[in-house]
Structure 1
Amino acid sequence: MFNLKKVILPNNIEKGIGTSYEYTPFHKLLKTEDAEGNIYATTLRDYESKLLKEINPNGYDIKTIYP
């Protein structure tokens, strides 16, 4: 099984910038990062690779993490 590591659009080939992906050892998507370094979503999983929490920066509210 192969995991997609990075997508580079044709107009950014010379710069080498693109969207990159990070996976767990069990091939579950962990993090998605765009060309500017913005993180789309990060997931937290337990030892059985079950999804515990997904953090989406667009809907992130500091009060929900630290009351």
Structure 2
Amino acid sequence: MRRILDTIREVDEWTKRRQELEVRMRALPRYQRRSMRAELEIVRQQLAHYQALVEEMKRAVTRPAVDGFLQDL
């Protein structure tokens, strides 16, 4: 359970970071945005990774409960 909560916190942190970068990029002139695109892409990849981990953990937690429920029927 602790691992799930830590991963959810990671998703929140990467989401905030992505939002901050997107706001900063919008404020920059077009020629300066290129340098931030690489950083933003890394943040997006990390966010996608942690979101996938959360989904995988949800399935790992709920699947045994569903299987147990179905066996009881």
Normalising by the smaller structure, the TM-score range is: under 0.3
Q: Hey, which of these two has a bigger chunk of helix by percent? A: 2
Tell me the TM-score normalised to structure 2 length.
Answer: 0.23
Tell me the TM-score normalised to structure 1 length.
Answer: 0.24
Q: Hey, which of these two has a bigger chunk of strand by percent? A: 1
Q: Which has the higher contact order (CA 8 A, sep 6+)?
A: 2
Rg larger in structure:
2
